[in-house]
Structure 1
């Protein structure tokens, strides 16, 4: 086809497909791929679940991108119906590239793109814990066989696991990135005052969906072993919020643990912290530690999935999975021995969103050549 992304006057039409366009790491990353795309390219996102009005109400960032996002609004598990809707959308948009994220979009949009002979199909795998499910492995094998996409892993650990489960040629690693201009160091006192956080306490933060896999219950329990001037602020929302709030009350930590929703101004959240902790039970390559470290905040994260690849080795600590005492000890050690090394340099070198976008666009250009 010999189309160049940088030289084609009309640009390239690229469609990203996600399961649910709601506030989360993978979804934020997809929006960044749209936001930082080459200006000539027309980039769109399709969500297999939800509807536009509710999505924008829950995530104001989507408002400015309203014309570039599409939703299959009807709730149905009928595979053929979803395929038929996707066929109509793809025929309307006429993309040269379909980029799927996670197994659901691969099954629906990847196969639809192959049926319509869309020239380039890319699939990025963002985590591998779902491959503990035998059914998921078999579904992905079938989808990869039919779709034949360019397969991308967002971390070396993810690539290793994909190679172990699938006899697939030339798996590429493109590591997740964050916006290092947006997520940058700031004045700690000013950020706390802006957000109404305690001005003279030690603040540990955690951010992510309030679900069991994120392990917020573990860090709440670890707070019992930390000094009373250490406070915890958890940014997020999800099905476990009431259970977590009840746990805080049972442990009499009401005055030291606070829940907030994910903020539109997350850089200020990170800038207000002394440390960031991600106590997940399962992960791919998490974005929140990268955002925190880009703001100069040292991190302690659980050694699961590819989390170790998101951690500055000179300033951060890896935590044993499901280990409350290890969380407490790691945080105590970090507070007692504050680092003089900024983790921001690690993120700038390894996980800058602009570099990530360039790598994807080079991949697309080569695939279209």
Structure 2
């Protein structure tokens, strides 16, 4: 019986890739017998029901976005003293830095910091990572490209950083053409070539790039539609741009949806226009659903989308290149697009299935615990 305990600390819980990854990992480890707890620095906005159903306690440090609150350190210390976890596994830059600071005041047996992006927000954060690196046992990142960059700019030394991929539930995200067809009928898009994009309306996702590329396509073809799923601080700006580009009839803003696997089956292809990324969960999800992809060459995108085999990779911030790749995808025979989708599904299953990734995390946890001389019973 596994008596080990892990506490996950994350900046906030919303419907994003890093948050989804943490929740999937927490629930999977709980099923494997680990004692699991989740702490969110900000009040959680998502996943509260999923964690509750799994029997995983969720706490918040009640911080406010953009406000440095020293009381969070004391709240975190209180939780640690009560719960005494073997491992603290923090996710995203603010949580990573907080966990390291807290370790000055409390002896955390094993501390792992996971970064979810190739660039977590400017030079000062990278300097903060470098200065606090001695307080962490290991830093991980979700793409090989990000790990290489972090070593190059001195965020973490080579012997203290590792690539650990995101994992995807390939039983939830899978081809289901019948459900996809029903949704096409429901949305009234059956006679269109359907592009799908799922993601927060924030600067990193560069939706203006996507809309400008899409407007070039619409000027030549009328039987095409773009479905946008998500919300975010720039949503109204993106809607305004769609209006300025006269795309109101061709771009549908669907908001937050809980049926993304079905939407992926309803689409003909997936598009991502990001200016920067880590290892996007949505690309793993699209691949697992058998969707061919057009994506920008940022972060781990080219690790997930095999150019020419499972989709097309294009330079970022280049609407012309994005439009050309989208047109190239649309011009392919349906059978060829389906072949691309099938190759994508096989590649995701082999490299990024959730069980495969949870196995890797469990192995890493045990390796670090043993290195610290912590026995299988969980005691020092």
Alpha-carbon separation, structure 2, partners of 1:44 and 1:217: 39
Task: Work out the CA distance in 1 between the residues paired with 2:51 and 2:14.
Answer: 10
Look up the match of 1:112: 102
Alignment of 1:177-192 (within 5 A): 177-187=167-177, 188-192=180-184
Distance in structure 2 (CA, Å) of the matches to 1:265 and 1:60: 17
Aligned to 2:250: 256
Matches within 5 A, 1:228-247: 228-247=222-241
Matches within 5 A, 1:124-135: 124-130=114-120, 133-135=122-124
Partner of 1:3: none
SS at the partner of 2:11?
A: strand
Residues in 2 aligned to 1:312 and 1:301: alpha-carbon distance in whole angstroms:
10
Partner residue, 1:4: none
Query: Structure 1 residues 252 and 287, CA, compared in 2 at 3 Å: closer, same or farther?
Result: same
Corresponding residue for residue 214 of structure 2: 223
Partner of 1:362: 363
Computed over aligned residues only, the root mean square deviation of the Cα atoms, in angstroms, reads 1.9
1:169-180 to structure 2, matched below 5 A, reads 169-180=159-170
Residue 191 of structure 1 deviates from its aligned partner by 3.4
Of 320, 326, 329 in structure 2, the residue corresponding to residue 325 of structure 1 is 320
Match of 1:300 in 2: 294
> Alignment length, in residue pairs?
354
**Aligned residue among 20, 30, 38 for 2:22:** 30
Give TM-score scaled by structure 1 length. 0.90
1:193-223 per-position Cα deviation (integer Å, ceiling 9, x unaligned): 3x53512211000010011220112111222
Deviations 1:318-369 (A, max 9, x none): 1111111111110110111243231101101111111111100011111112
1:297-330 CA deviation, whole Å, 9 max, x = no partner?
0001111122111213312101111111111110
How far the C-alpha of 1:79 sits from its partner, in A, is 4.8
Q: Secondary structure at the match of 1:259?
A: strand
Q: Note closer, same or farther for the CA distance 1:363–1:309 as it changes in structure 2 (3 Å cut).
A: same
- Report how far residue 286 of structure 1 moved: 0.9
Q: Which residue of 1 aligns with 2:72?
A: 82
* Aligned match for 1:336, one of 331, 334, 337: 331
Paired position in structure 2 for 1:40: 33
SS of 2:299's partner is: coil
**Do the aligned partners of 2:13 and 2:46 also contact (CA within 8 Å) in 1?**
yes
| Residues 1:207 and 2:198 aligned together | yes
Give 1:171 deviation, angstroms.
2.2
CA contact (8 A) 2:36 2:56 kept: no
Query: How does 1:50-61 map onto structure 2 within 5 Å?
Result: 50=43, 52=44, 54-55=45-46, 61=50
> Does residue 13 in structure 1 map to residue 13 in structure 2?
no
Contact 1:106 1:143 (C-alpha < 8 Å) held by counterparts: no
Tell me the equivalent position of 2:377. none
Residue 128 of structure 2 corresponds to 139
The question of whether the paired residues in 1 share the 8 Å contact of 2:143 and 2:279 is answered with yes
Rounded to whole Å, the distance in 2 between the matches of 1:210 and 1:60 is 24
Greater mean alpha carbon deviation, residues 85-94 or residues 271-280: 85-94
2:347 maps to 1:346: yes
| 1:104-139 deviation per Cα after TM superposition (whole angstroms, max 9, x unaligned) | 1111123324532121111112112236x2211211
Structure 1: give runs of 5+ residues left out of the alignment: 1-6
Which range is displaced more, 109-118 or 182-191?
A: 109-118
- How far 1:93 moved relative to its partner? 1.9
Distance 1:149 1:157 in 2: 21
Deviation of the 1:62 alpha carbon = 5.1
Aligned equivalents of 2:188, 2:147: Cα separation in 1:
40
Contact (CA 8 Å) 2:118, 2:276: kept in 1 or not? no
Give runs of ≥4 in structure 1 deviating > 6 Å: none
- Name the structure 2 match of 1:266: 260
Counterpart contact for 1:180–1:353, Cα < 8 Å: yes
Query: Displacement, 1:66?
Result: 7.3
